[in-house]
A and B are shown apart, each in its own frame.
Chain A
Amino acid sequence: MPRTITEKILAAHAGRDAVKPGDIITVKVDLVLVNDITGLIADREFRKMGVTKVFDPTKIAIVLDHFVPAKDMASAEQSRISRRFAQEFGIVNFYDVGRAGIEHALLPEQGLVAPGELIIGADSHTVTYGGIGAFSTGVGGTDAAAAMALGETWLRVPETLKFVFQGKLGKWITGKDLVLYTIGQIGVEGARYKAMEFTGEAIQDLSVEGRLTMCNMAIEAGGKSGIVPPDEKTLEYVRPRVRREFKVYQSDPDARYEQVFEWDVTGLEPQVSLPHLPSNAVPVSKVGDVKIDQSVIGSCTNGRIEDLRVAAAILKGQRVHPDVRLIVIPATQDVYKQAMHEGLFDVFVDAGGAVSAPTCGPCLGGYMGILAAGERAISTTNRNFVGRMGDRSSEVYLASPAVAAASAIAGRIVGPEEVL
């Protein structure tokens, strides 16, 4: 039987020749991830499970990122619980403030995830690693605890939706625009329980970072996972980072898909998702006159070096609009250092922007840029739900770093062409 890449990875981890959509299988996991928030539940539930050690201390990653550096005493206490867990169980991949970053940017960057691997994480954006050809999906804290105990988890084999992006991308068009467009087309539950496979000429042209951005938002269409079958670019990205054997899978040419979407994205405009759902995607020229109070560039979706470079290219020699606060958050320590070396911080600071240490911060309304009642932000993050970045009457518009940077200059939502 011909199979998709997702079915092949799942079969390999289930110790079976083949699996098909709908099968409920038990799979071995290559990595289990928790963060400072979900680590709390994982710690509590793990201790109830009657085990005295984790299945493999090298195959667990604990990343403190959501409310760190500790935003208040409660967060400090929360981080301490994960820190204690890491010490007690000898967790090798423990990432604390100053040596960390946002989990989903950090893990691929540090080579903790590889093509063909199976990763579960107690965070919904664990789907990101499909960008390098892994199967990864989000679970809850108790699921993560069980996987830390057993080294395995159960999954339902998802049907796969295939997305073929034909054509050439315009100058400012990124993975973010493609994924917002996709969610706009199929809706926030268009891929519920399903794997999303992204292919086509435009995907081949995307950088690995852009592919990570796309898979990151598969969950915003309800997807169980997102995946880009690996190619030379993937291997170039992975080889210097991953120091262990891994296996590259490809979908068979005649693999069965539940549905195939094919779009020509030549001439696609930058996309903006209006409040309060990621599926409210429209071309930037159709947004209308929307003034903003804040522009956020960062997160596990768009806080990588490529994102900061794009933003800096637009902000260079320009000034942030007097009514706007620009907040730039490199996603990891490595991105931070790289951006510093390249002089990108000079650009942001000279333009009147604030640069923060790596953190999720405002993305989930944690801190470092919370919106007051009625305020409006353009943001490179992935969710614009009611109250996501602050007061429940505030609004978040989702877009690429290019649009967020251009809008910071204009004081209202515009595409990059309008400020250059």
Chain B
Amino acid sequence: MAEMQVHGRVFRYGKDVNTDLIIPARYLNIIDVKEQATHTMEDLDPEFPRKVRPGDIVVAEENYGCGSSREEAPLMLKTCGVSAVVAKSFARIFFRNAINIGLPVFESAAAVDAAQAGDELEIDTASGLIRNLTKGQTYQAAPLPEFIQGIIRAGGLVEYVRARVGAK
């Protein structure tokens, strides 16, 4: 989450997008992350892996990332170049995993309601300010708790632990 500003096109989805849809279990034994990421979202949107470009933003309704604890879900999105996910709400393990691996996630019902596929969004990841450039509207996402911001500031959970144990 080092980037303060992310910018990209909207891929728009509905509610309860589960982690089996984000990356089906049948691909979980692929050890090469890049190869694995070519299957991202394919059961929900077969075009996604081909169409997604670095910076693009996934926008979805309630309960994004429900289901399995697989960390591959946010990791695949990040590997595909997705720069942030904006949803009305997140399932808790997905939310945690996204923070831990450095994929910015934001909750804003208003931003989700207004966003259409292909809209251009710009997000200030520190303040949670979401700008829909296509619609000319601005939304404020709920701020993250201080403890979580600490993990983000450290650069993710791995860096956080490294700092805690005093690793060089």
- Identify the A interface with B (CB < 8 A): 24, 37-38, 40-41, 45, 48-51, 66-67, 71-72, 74-75, 77-78, 121-124, 126, 138-143, 145-146, 149-150, 154, 156, 188-189, 192-193, 222, 224, 277, 364-366, 383, 385-388, 392
Contact = CB atoms under 8 A, between A and B. Distances in A.
B44 to A, nearest CB: 8
The 6 closest A-B pairs by CB, nearest first: A50-B167, A140-B71, A140-B97, A124-B69, A74-B29, A364-B25
Interface of B: 16, 18, 20-21, 24-26, 28-31, 43-44, 62-63, 66-72, 75, 89, 91-93, 96-97, 100-101, 145-148, 156-158, 160-162, 164-165, 167-168
Contact of A150 (B146, B148, B158, B161): B161
A139 B96 contact: yes
A266 B93 CA distance: 35
Contact of B20 (A37, A126, A383): A383
Contacts of B161: 49-51, 145-146, 149-150
Nearest to B100: A142
Given A141-B71, A383-B18, 13 more contacts: A24-B145, A24-B146, A24-B147, A48-B158, A67-B28, A122-B71, A124-B67, A149-B161, A189-B63, A189-B89, A386-B20, A386-B44, A387-B43
B71 A188 contact: no
Given A149-B165, A189-B63, A364-B25, A142 B157 contact: yes
Contacts of A67: 28-29
A74 B16 CA distance: 30
Contacts of A41: 71-72, 75
Contacts, number: 143
B63 A146 contact: no
Contact of A51 (B28, B31, B75, B167): B167
Contacts of B26: 365-366
Contacts of A66: 25, 28
A205 to B, nearest CB: 31
A145 B91 CA distance: 21
B96 to A, nearest CB: 6
A364 B25 CA distance: 6
B24 A143 contact: no
Nearest to A47: B158
A48 B18 CA distance: 29
A364 B19 CA distance: 12
Contacts of B70: 37-38, 140
A352 B16 CA distance: 38
6 contacts: A123-B69, A141-B71, A222-B63, A364-B25, A386-B20, A388-B20
A189 B92 contact: no
A366 B92 contact: no
Contact of A192 (B30, B44, B63, B167): B63
Given A192-B92, A222-B91, A140 B63 contact: no
Contacts of A71: 29
Contacts of B96: 139-140, 143
Contact of A193 (B21, B24, B92): B92
Contacts of A121: 69
A38 B71 CA distance: 8
B165 A139 contact: no
A154 B92 CA distance: 13
A72 to B, nearest CB: 7
